[in-house]
Structure 1
Amino acid sequence: MTIYFLGGGNMAEAIAGGLVRQGGYQIHIVNRGAEKRERLAKSLGVAVSEKLPALNAEDILVLAVKPQDMQAACAGVETNGALVLSVAAGLSVNTLSSYLNDTRRIIRTMPNTPGRVGLGVSGLFAADGASDADKQAAEEVMSAIGQVVWLEDEAQIHAITGITGSGPAYVFYLMNALQEAALAQGFDNETARQLSLATFKGAVGLAEQGGEDFIVLQQNVTSKGGTTFAALETFKERKVAQAIGAGVDACVARSKEIAQQFEGGK
């Protein structure tokens, strides 16, 4: 079995890199750019080529090109029964199937950027042509870059895009806000960054270790009338939580709009 990557972008490199670190996989990356192929071959030690070789039924084809380039990239591709794993946002099973001679042995996944350091989370949805063995194979591939969550309905891809797919950007937004607040309090740039980064890292570590609800952890460091209480009351007045929820809603709605564009507005 060989795991082929159609496209050598950041996510393909992250997944392939995770698989290389685990060991035991034959990996082949297909990319049009010669310079990129040379770099991937050197950094990952994997096979590379400009064109996709002939596939076998036991192979896995990871579709990792940009959604707008997918149809052209799939032109002439014969899956020959291989399992197709797509990381392309906005392209439904039906759309992908139409690009690949109606194969239904497809699993869609929505990973996120922390997968580049092995701390990602990926939502997976299996089409009706994928077997339990296919699901296990896809889970093994995506587990190379972090956690895996299975989705029962393809529409949930939009929801997980709004939570984990785009979620790291929300965290970086808040990290930057705390850094800016530290600067406003007189700290220099390096210290302000360090304070924000350490605060988020420590809070996540504490939450993982204890397993308590986030609201309980919040209450544990909040004394009524105290300093933390003053900050949280301000957040409530400014409706920060509602704003985050509205942002997630907007992300999910945009994900649905993009999917409709690829499906011809259907």
Structure 2
Amino acid sequence: MNGTHDTSSLPSGIAFVGGGNMARSLIAGVTRAGVPAASIEVVEPQVALRQTLQQEHGVRTAGAVAAATLEAQVVVLAVKPQVMAAVCAELAPRLAAGTLVVSIAAGITTAALREWLGAGAVLVRAMPNTPALLGAGMTGLYAGAEVGDSDRQAAQAILAGAGQTRWIDDEALMDAVTAVSGSGPAYVFALAEAMEDAARAQGLADDAARQMVVQTVLGAARMLAESGQGAGALRQAVTSPNGTTQAALETLADGGFHQLVGNAVAAAARRGRELARAGG
């Protein structure tokens, strides 16, 4: 099932608790795939966000869990980790037994969700990333052995509307997913920011620096995705002996670039585990 988008598995009704950017990207994906806007309900306390959701997507909205109908087959928890326990406390009495609950909160384990929601919920964890806003996201998914194929397919279909998906067999590895793909766009943005600064330091105008860096990152990403070659092979192919690229790469190596990236990903994974412990 990894990476496929089976729209036939989409549920006919979905409730989103939280109406921020990620929820909006998922709503856009499922409505494009054919889920009627009228069968989607969003619980969002901020009035401005509710109005935007109604205007952009035509979905039904409620200002609080208590005011929502919650008649959907699937509930997507799209709130910040630090408020998840409180949201689940409101939600638990309203959930029908067997309701599929998909959480996209970093660091919140299925054990914590089970404690907060009770035994009747069917739980799936998902870790999307911000390119989901463009339909170019990457989502890691985890479900325990008790979750049936139809629920797995429904969860995957919802997330696949925002990009590619991948099932992870061990929940402990969801911290690695968070560290690599969840936080990963920020690493690319940090590299692009540094490249733009360096371009300006070499005398390029701001607009020229941005255009060259953006298109270089985009083009390199497409080569990674479409060439069929690994990152190492592509790096070697563009590096002429004693040329300009080799000079740059040697400088990165001297600065411990590879190890620094490894340390950064390890730090993100470690922080994910800390959030999990703090969150329950």
Residue 208 of structure 1: which of 225, 237, 242 is its match? 225
Residue 43 of structure 1: which of 37, 44, 56 is its match? 56
Distance of 2:89 and 2:76 partners within structure 1: 15
Distance of 1:136 and 1:154 partners within structure 2: 18
Unmatched segments (≥5 aa) in structure 1: none
Distance of 2:120 and 2:272 partners within structure 1: 24
Are 1:10 and 2:30 matched, yes or no?
A: no
Unmatched segments (≥5 aa) in structure 2: 1-11
Q: What's the CA shift string for 1:30-66, capped at 9, x where partnerless?
A: 111222211110011111112343445x700001111
Shift of 1:104: 4.7
Mapping 1:123-202, distance limit 5 Å:
123-202=140-219
Letter in 2 for 1:249: A
The TM-score normalised by the length of structure 2 is 0.90
Secondary structure, counterpart of 1:69 in structure 2: helix
Letter in 1 for 2:63: E
Letter in 1 for 2:60: A
Letter in 2 for 1:245: G
Letter in 2 for 1:63: L
Q: What's the CA shift string for 1:114-137, capped at 9, x where partnerless?
A: 000000000000134321110000
Instruction: Give percent identity, aligned residues only.
Output: 40
Relative contact order, higher structure (CA 8 A, sep 6+): 2
Q: Does the CA contact (< 8 Å) of 1:105 and 1:128 recur in 2?
A: no
Mapping 1:99-118, distance limit 5 Å:
99-118=116-135
Are 1:74 and 2:88 matched, yes or no?
A: yes
The TM-score normalised by the length of structure 1 is 0.94
- Count matched residues: 262
Deviant stretches of 4+, over 3 Å: 51-56
Secondary structure, counterpart of 1:76 in structure 2: helix
Distance of 1:8 and 1:24 partners within structure 2: 17
Distance of 1:255 and 1:188 partners within structure 2: 39
Letter in 1 for 2:56: S
Distance of 1:4 and 1:127 partners within structure 2: 22
Q: What's the CA shift string for 1:196-233, capped at 9, x where partnerless?
A: 10111111122222111111111111111111111111
Distance of 1:92 and 1:242 partners within structure 2: 29
Distance of 2:182 and 2:168 partners within structure 1: 14
Are 1:221 and 2:238 matched, yes or no?
A: yes
Letter in 1 for 2:45: R
Q: Does the CA contact (< 8 Å) of 2:95 and 2:121 recur in 1?
A: no
Q: What's the CA shift string for 1:155-189, capped at 9, x where partnerless?
A: 01101011000000000000111111100110111
Secondary structure, counterpart of 1:75 in structure 2: helix
